[in-house]
Structure 1
Amino acid sequence: MDPDLIVGGGRSTEHLDRCGRLEDHPRTTGDKNHMGTVTSRTAGALLAAAFALGLSACSTGDASTSGGADGQNTIDFEFEGYRAQLPADPDRVVVLDSRTGLEFALLAEWPIAASDFSDEGGPIVDALADDVAHLSGTRTEPDLEEVASHDPDLLVVSESWWNYYQDNDVPLGDIAPVFIVDEPDVGEKWKETFAGNMSVVDKSDEAEELLDQYDATVADLSRELPADGQGVTLAFATGEMTGADVSLGHGPLNVFVARDLGFEVVSSDDLQPSDGFLRSYSSENLDVFADADFLFVVNLDDDPVFESQAWHRLPAVEANRVADIPTMYNAGMVLTAESLAQHMADAVSAAY
């Protein structure tokens, strides 16, 4: 029996929760006035060159601005029962996850003292300045003493990792107030939720500009695709390396970027909300991929399922229209999405 296949952009060693989000470095010190972050010029160049998108929410955060006890402006922040006064202009930010959390901290232009670097090599971590300290703990087991040693006045974490820390009694709030980045329960709302996150920190205008840039970039890429992407059908697959089912679904990010590019995407008509982004079928049903003109695959070179005869009989595989898609694209915001759009456009254009 073949190992699991997932259509919709999962990955082999991590599990998507109902919001389609994923599971997991030598420390340095930094001058408070020289924290590593993307400067306005660097951020502008980065955005113009490669990336742009955002997330939408499984839950909502509320905030208002007020004066703190020391006279500095603060944000009265609330997120699913968590309440804190956040600095409106933080001095030292520590980021606990290097996907959604880090991307938002960069977009907010906060001075980042230290960060998780688990997704090093991707478009988000590579945008950090050289002086940002690497957190040596893992995302699943953060070293709280190390986090505190950076003297943060703000911590940043994605909703999914915040929930993980809450479930495991990790007391992040004892170190510093925490900004929790809202994430989407349905992918169609990613732009709305991204804008909502930005509005909490009074950056609605910047969010609108970033989304406009994403739309413009996608339109440019679409015009360069064969037939403007029309008539090309994609599917997203992952070998789970356990079990014997085939899962079909709507990826948390890749499906909606693909549709923005003008592609059709193979999906399950009977996918239910309780299934999250995936729907399981028996391993004999690899024909669910048969309508795809092009396949994007996580762990393409690592999973034996992609050596099976059933896989190689698929039309897209026979036509050599298959490309790898890194797991870093399973979650993110505007920077990740624009990079993902470029990745997909390049791969499809090279095959036609």
Structure 2
Amino acid sequence: MLAGTAALVTLAACGAEENTDSSNAAENNSQNETEETNTSNNEPAEDNDAEEPAEENNAADNEETGEETEENNESDESGADASGDTITYESENGPVEVPADPQRVVVLSSYVGDMLALDVPVVGADTWSMDNPVFEEELADTEAVTDEDLEKIIELDPDLIVGLSNIQNVDQLQEIAPTVTFTYGAVDYLDQHIEIGKLVNKEDEARDWVEDFQQRASETGEEIKAEIGEDATVTVFENFDKQLYVFGDNWARGTEILYQEMELGMPESVQEVSESDGFFALSTEVMSEYAGDYIVVSKVADQDNSFQETETYQNIPAVQDGNVIEVDAQSFYFNDATSLDHQLSVFEEEFLSE
């Protein structure tokens, strides 16, 4: 996210931009981005289900063989037309005709990892996603673009454009390719993946991933609680632009996994201050009041992390006991399917390494 709340909102949605009223929160930001619209980040809401038409059975009796042919009898969960070339996606702004098998997608916000998890080719992506090391290999040939790069997007010849509802130049983008936008927070982070699945005609695959992820996260959570104790608490801190933050259960940085899926404990003090905005800005002097038995530090490498050298920080029991897990903020700003898989593996390794 950018300075203050903007940055956090951006980072929160992994590219999503939100306006929060928290005085110290970042202005921009899965998976919560700190500068651009990010992660996460991940707030439950009503799901915009795509229309699911009844299955069409095109099998015809073969009089010569008595066998039935089943060509084109697969149901299109999102409303595929007879040719199968396009489907109708019921977006929050109304129905949109989109490719049934998109091959050149431009993603202008935080949904790159959802596309990658569904094996959908991404030819253009937002800069926050391009900086996520988890995506580095798969985005090696992908161009960094913004909603202002209209000529560049035209050159990429996309067959589908996806972004947040606050992106600019939507009318111009719609002239380039079918454009679908999502309001950040309209659905929770898992339902968002399912919505992406509907959009790219892979709803079944998306639902399968969600079910598998929840099972894996739950099982890992049970193992972790057996290791650290059922009542152990965890706090997620991050320093951005010389401001320290603590996060609730739906602001990326792995919070959805820790608190929602694994059901690890959150200190009551953190619950109280993060309930409204999902995060809370605080000073180093009061860190100990919000520190759990375990601390996760979402660390931004190029930021001032000198707070970790202060006596106040060093005297926190979790720090003295060595119960601090440092994670790369660039890969934890997001809460898309690909990033969540990565974050789960990190937590599994860090909590269960001993």
- TM-score (normalizing by structure 1): 0.68
DSSP 3-state at the match of 1:126: coil
Q: Could you tell me how far apart the structure 2 residues matched to 1:171 and 1:347 are?
A: 46
Q: What whole-Å deviation, never above 9, does each CA across 1:260-313 have from its counterpart, x for those lacking one?
A: 23521236343476x421134555422223433333332377422222221111
DSSP 3-state at the match of 2:234: strand
1:176 to partner: Cα distance: 1.1
1:92 corresponding residue in structure 2 = 104
Q: What whole-Å deviation, never above 9, does each CA across 1:60-79 have from its counterpart, x for those lacking one?
A: 546452549xx554333454
Indicate the RMSD between aligned Cα atoms, in angstroms.
4.0
Q: Could you tell me how far apart the structure 1 residues matched to 2:296 and 2:101 are?
A: 44
The answer to whether the 8 A contact 2:235-2:267 is kept is yes
- Aligned partner of 2:315 among 310, 313, 316: 313
Shift in alpha-carbon separation, 1:90–1:185, aligned structure 2, 3 A? closer
DSSP 3-state at the match of 2:168: helix
The answer to whether the 8 A contact 1:61-1:79 is kept is yes
2:337 corresponding residue in structure 1 = 334
2:173 corresponding residue in structure 1 = 172
Shift in alpha-carbon separation, 1:10–1:202, aligned structure 2, 3 A? closer
The answer to whether the 8 A contact 1:59-1:183 is kept is no
Q: Could you tell me how far apart the structure 2 residues matched to 1:299 and 1:308 are?
A: 18
- Aligned partner of 1:113 among 114, 123, 134: 123
1:238 has 2:238 as partner? yes
DSSP 3-state at the match of 1:236: strand
Shift in alpha-carbon separation, 1:115–1:218, aligned structure 2, 3 A? same
Shift in alpha-carbon separation, 1:225–1:316, aligned structure 2, 3 A? same
DSSP 3-state at the match of 1:193: helix
Q: Could you tell me how far apart the structure 2 residues matched to 1:246 and 1:55 are?
A: 17
1:148 has 2:154 as partner? yes
Q: How does 1:72-91 map to 2 (within 5 A)?
A: 73-81=85-93, 84-91=96-103
DSSP 3-state at the match of 1:325: strand
The answer to whether the 8 A contact 2:217-2:262 is kept is yes
Structure 2 unaligned blocks of 5 or more: 21-28, 52-78
Q: How does 1:177-188 map to 2 (within 5 A)?
A: 177-181=178-182, 183-184=184-185
1:340 to partner: Cα distance: 0.6
Q: What whole-Å deviation, never above 9, does each CA across 1:171-207 have from its counterpart, x for those lacking one?
A: 3223211133564358xx3323333442344433212
DSSP 3-state at the match of 2:106: strand
Q: In the comparison of the two structures, how many residue pairs are matched? A: 300
1:250 corresponding residue in structure 2 = 249
Give aligned-pair identity as a percent: 17
The answer to whether the 8 A contact 1:323-1:347 is kept is yes
1:346 corresponding residue in structure 2 = 349
1:221 corresponding residue in structure 2 = 220
AA matched with 1:109: D
1:122 corresponding residue in structure 2 = 133
The answer to whether the 8 A contact 1:92-1:154 is kept is yes
1:220 to partner: Cα distance: 4.8
Shift in alpha-carbon separation, 1:332–1:181, aligned structure 2, 3 A? farther
AA matched with 2:352: S
AA matched with 1:217: R
1:80 to partner: Cα distance: 4.1
Q: What whole-Å deviation, never above 9, does each CA across 1:310-350 have from its counterpart, x for those lacking one?
A: 11111111223222222222222222212111112222234
- TM-score (normalizing by structure 2): 0.68
Q: How does 1:20-35 map to 2 (within 5 A)?
A: 21-22=32-33, 23-24=35-36
DSSP 3-state at the match of 2:98: strand
Q: Could you tell me how far apart the structure 1 residues matched to 2:298 and 2:157 are?
A: 41
The answer to whether the 8 A contact 2:234-2:291 is kept is no
* Structure of larger gyration radius: 2
1:252 to partner: Cα distance: 1.7
2:204 corresponding residue in structure 1 = 205
1:54 to partner: Cα distance: 10
Q: Could you tell me how far apart the structure 2 residues matched to 1:270 and 1:9 are?
A: 19
Of structures 1 and 2, the one scoring higher in RCO (CA 8 A, sep 6+) is 1
Q: Could you tell me how far apart the structure 1 residues matched to 2:342 and 2:326 are?
A: 14
Q: What whole-Å deviation, never above 9, does each CA across 1:111-159 have from its counterpart, x for those lacking one?
A: 333444643453234334x5x3323x4x4x64221111121121123x2
1:250 to partner: Cα distance: 3.4
2:68 corresponding residue in structure 1 = none
